[in-house]
Structure 1
Amino acid sequence: MAGGRFAPGHLGELTQCIPFEMVDEALKATGRVQERLRDLPSRVVVYLLLAGCLFPEVGYLGVWRKLTGALAGLPLAAPSASALAQARRRIGATPLKWLFDLLKGPVAGPRTPGAWWRGLLVIALDGTTLTVPDTPAVLTRFTKQAGNHGGTGYPQVRLLTLVACGTRTLIDAVFGPTTSGETTHAPRLLPSLRPGMILLADRNFAAQGLINDIAATGAEVLVRLKNGRRMPILARYRDGSYLSALGPVPVRVVDCEITITTTAGKHTGLYRLATTLLDHHRHPAGELAMLYHQRWEIETAYLELKSTILGGRVLRARTPEGIDQEIYALLVVHQLLRTAMADATSTQPGTDPDRAGFSIAWQAARDQLVLAAGVIADTAIDLAGTIGRHVLAGLLPQRRLRVSPRIVKRAISKYQARGPRIDRTSYKATTGIEILAAAGP
């Protein structure tokens, strides 16, 4: 452990991914180093904020007890709730943002299974919302969404991320009020795009201006279009796709019919995809249609963030500045867990990171923090560590094709809703893809 008043500043085994020197550099770079040595040094407060994301079910006093539970016999501070609150305000959000900017990235090697497609790093862009406390201070910046029943009960924050589909690590993230839409926030992510990437996005991001700006970064695009959108046919290709344009950007359009077959029946949907990959020999239409399915990895990343870590809870912070601080801490912790999982699966060549269980890694990290175990790395490098060994011992089976209805699983009311019974069964499925030739000359 660190000595003296710095002893409570740790994150269990995850401290090896975010060591003392890194946190100290973040504090120095952002001008948040304490002017005098307090009972709660700035480094300890940063680790307290990160540990709070591993234990969202307790208050910060409870988090402090988790950090110090295994440090019996050491002369430790006994801060009050108000002292912890003052320390968090003193730190602010900038050191957490600095740490996230340092840690963000795909964490994917050239041989990481599922991370690449025909030499391109597969990433996805999408948004979600986080719920924050309904306080007068919060409402000065974040608002409740309007609705047919008077709007949501709590204010919300709009979060947009770029996620590496193979490892579900965060390449970048931005957030802001829900009064601005996803396409308004999206341009702030473009500096993180580069040649050698292919960006998957849904219909909401198919605006001409945004696609033009993405293409200007050198990254490739595979975006879904609305089925009724008129696209000029400039040339036809033998794989059924055709050359078209989104504003000044030349694109290939793939119209396809996807049929999902289960024991309960069949479901057919029409998809229209546009891509900046114009060579139909190197990037066949059928493979592009299959690749687009990887976009759902970002939805799984949001599930990890909002359901596994937060458990559907409202964020703690009760001020706009505190919300910024907490969200960056949350993003850092998710990235640390995903990095530990990617490191663990890399020790077994050919193991797809999809098979690593996020819940297993999260619970193992919590246990190691309470035990204050593995804080400082041994002289021998152990890529897996205790967290990784738990992950490898509980690898999920190979990904199977299954379907499940996208429905609300927790009703607002505790009473049985009227109407027919909702089928919540997950079915094994097979997929059929037919490329459709566009009508017209």
Structure 2
Amino acid sequence: MSVLTTLFQDFAARLCSTEFLNDARHSDHPTAFSRCRKLPLPTLVAIMLTGMRMSIQAELDTFFAHLRHQAQLVHEVSEQAFSQARAKLSLTAIPRLNDWLIARAEQDRLVPRWRGLRLVAADASTLRFGLRASHVKRAALADQILFGLFLPGPDLMLAASLHSVHERGERQFLFEHLDRLSPDDLLLLDRGYPCRWLVAVLNQRAIKFCMRVDNDSGFACVRDFMRSSANERIVILRAPDKQDAIDYECPRKPQRVRLVRNVSPTGAQRVLMTNLFDDKLYPADCFGELYHQRWGIEETFKRLKHRLNLEHVTGLTQQAVAQDVAAKIVCDNLQALVALTAHADAELPANKRINHAYAHTALKPLMPILLLGSVIGRKIGALLRGVLGLIAGRTYRHRENLSKPRKQGPKPHKAMSQKNC
């Protein structure tokens, strides 16, 4: 509880710091946020971090009402003023806030380790933003891909980026984010990622990995392993193609990997490929549960889309869309830390999980006060203690090995012609 209180106090101080001011100024507006206005930089960013789901004016009036502890809406800033201010905000400002938040969570030991390693899942999801036809400069495309690196233990998004649907694919997106990983990380990947050049790159950078490999993935050694009765096997993958080795600057050498057989709760057999060779520290029977933790990123994408309305954006330009996505990721990470603290403080059993939808509802009215540091530390602690009690009281029972297969067909995307109220 005290850790969470201090975290919010330091986060509020970060928003008001000169360092953040210098990071937040757009390169086209080097003197932005210098004058004293109704919508200064900390307030602008705080509004965006509350998870904007309604119309812009409704969100603004609700924010200032909560900031003044009023039930009646307060019309203090116009929608046009918000749009003009956010145009001067750099694209890196909010992602760097997220980097600060992740580093702080690591410092406070809120990110657990699996056998001494930090788990990092990688995946991508298609987004269809509710944009209308316009003639604005640098207008955003409606269909884009969101790639993310995710920490399954505390349910935190480590990093994320938007990409065109016409770019090279998820492997390329992952390659561009490999600098965010260290030898102490264990990368969890789904069946769309395995290829020879990626294995060579990960081994070259000493990045540990565990990825699912299908029987039809093109690896002859995987097909032979599936036909055998062995539970695990050390195999050698062919060297990457010459052009791949040049493009990704990886060694054109055969790669040694370990294949592990895993049987799902439904009885389906799947193969996991890894470079964790120590069978005493990493026995074969531990990989099924390890790979299952990757599912957390799928749930986070669903939560961002359907709970925080990620596809409902507050601007038509690519800059506005990228800012909204980054802000909602930070908003979800803050909620995840609050939910994690609520679960620990209430000493809930492992099979009880926090209802994140209710956590967002309970936390949002307090976000203006928590993010702007409008009350003293003791009052913030009292507010957090009350909301943690509410959140801990809204749980559901987690049932192991519960399978809900997806229905085949196009992904549903609701029309954005009408906004939430």
| TM, length-normalised to structure 2 | 0.77
1:303 aligns with 2:302: yes
Structure 2 partner of 1:389: 389
Instruction: Return the offset for 1:329.
Output: 0.9
Match of 2:199 among 169, 190, 211: 211
Which amino acid is 1:178 matched to? V
Deviations 1:113-144 (A, max 9, x none): 9x44323222211111222214356896755x
Report the Cα distance in structure 2 between the residues aligned to 1:35 and 1:82, rounded to whole angstroms. Answer: 19
Q: Is 326-335 or 336-345 further displaced after alignment?
A: 336-345
Deviations 1:237-273 (A, max 9, x none): 997211113444321012344352xxxxxxx423121
> Within 1, Cα distance between the matches of 2:403 and 2:37?
55
Aligned positions of 1:166-181 closer than 5 A: 166-180=153-167, 181=169
Task: Spell out, residue by residue over 1:161-207, the C-alpha distance to the aligned partner (whole angstroms, 9 max, x if none).
Answer: 11111221112222221211111211122112112222110121112
Shift of 1:370: 7.6
1:42 maps to 41
Partner of 1:230: 219
Aligned CA distance change for structure 1 residues 331 and 282 (closer, same or farther; 3 Å): same
User: Which position in structure 2 is the counterpart of 1:200?
Assistant: 188
1:327 corresponds in structure 2 to 325
2:418 maps to which residue?
none
Q: Contact 2:369/2:375 (CA < 8 Å) preserved in 1? A: no
User: In structure 2, the residue corresponding to 1:396 is in which secondary structure?
Assistant: strand
Q: CA deviation at 1:338?
A: 1.1
AA matched with 1:61: Q
User: Bigger CA drift: 158-167 or 100-109?
Assistant: 100-109
How many residues in Structure 1 have an aligned counterpart in Structure 2? 377
- 1:18 has 2:11 as partner: yes
Q: Deviation of residue 295 (structure 1)?
A: 1.4
CA 1:352–1:215: 2 relative to 1, 3 Å: farther
Say whether 1:184 aligns with 2:172: yes
Q: Which residue does the alignment assign to 1:125?
A: 122
Offset at residue 405 of structure 1 (A)? 2.3
Q: Secondary structure of the equivalent of 1:117?
A: coil
Give the AA of the match of 1:118: R
Out of 247, 255, 260, the residue aligned to residue 249 of structure 1 is 255
Matched position secondary structure for 1:90: coil
Q: Which secondary structure state, in structure 1, belongs to the residue aligned with residue 211 of structure 2?
A: strand
Using the TM superposition, give the Cα deviation of residue 215 of structure 1 relative to its aligned residue in structure 2, in angstroms: 3.1
Secondary structure of residue in 1 paired with 2:264: strand
Alpha-carbon distance in structure 2 between the residues aligned to 1:354 and 1:243? 39
How many angstroms apart in 2 are the aligned matches of 1:216 and 1:381?
47
Give matches, 1:327-346, under 5 Å: 327-346=325-344
Equivalence for 1:403: 403
Q: Is the 8 A contact 2:25 2:90 kept in 1?
A: no
Distance in structure 2 (CA, Å) of the matches to 1:137 and 1:211: 44
1:45-60 map, 5 Å:
45-51=44-50, 53=51, 55-56=52-53, 58-60=54-56
TM-superposed deviation, 1:318: 0.3
- Give the drift of 1:85: 1.3
What is the rounded CA distance, in whole Å, between the counterparts of 2:380 and 2:164 in structure 1?
43
Equivalent in 58, 63, 66 of residue 59 of structure 2: 63
Q: CA deviation at 1:413?
A: 12
User: In the TM superposition, what is the alpha-carbon distance from 1:66 to its structure 2 partner?
Assistant: 0.9
User: d(CA) in 2 for partners of 1:341 and 1:226?
Assistant: 35
Structure 2 counterpart of 1:120, one-letter code: L
SS, match of residue 204 in structure 1? coil
Deviating more after overlay: 12-21 vs 357-366: 12-21
Q: 1:137, 1:318 within 8 Å by CA — same for their partners in 2?
A: no
The residue number in structure 2 matching 1:418 is none
Match of 1:163 in 2: 150
- Give the Cα–Cα distance (whole angstroms) in 2 for the partners of residues 323 and 223 of structure 1: 31
Against the structure 1 CA distance between its residues 380 and 214, is the aligned structure 2 distance closer, same or farther, given a 3 Å change threshold? farther
Provide the rounded CA distance (Å) in 2 between the counterparts of 1:118 and 1:350.
Answer: 23
Say whether the 8 Å CA contact 1:104–1:172 is kept in structure 2. no
Q: Is the 1:14–1:365 Cα contact (8 Å) retained in structure 2? A: no
Secondary structure in 1 aligned to 2:268? strand
Matching residue of 1:434: none
Q: Is the 8 A contact 2:60 2:75 kept in 1?
A: no
Instruction: Check conservation: 1:256, 1:289, Cα contact below 8 A.
Output: yes
Unmatched segments (≥5 aa) in structure 1: 1-11, 144-154, 261-267, 415-441
Change (3 A) 1:398 1:259: closer
Asked if the contact 2:12–2:370 (Cα under 8 Å) also holds between the matched residues in 1, the reply is no
- 1:85 aligns with 83
Alpha-carbon RMSD across the aligned residues, in angstroms, is 3.8
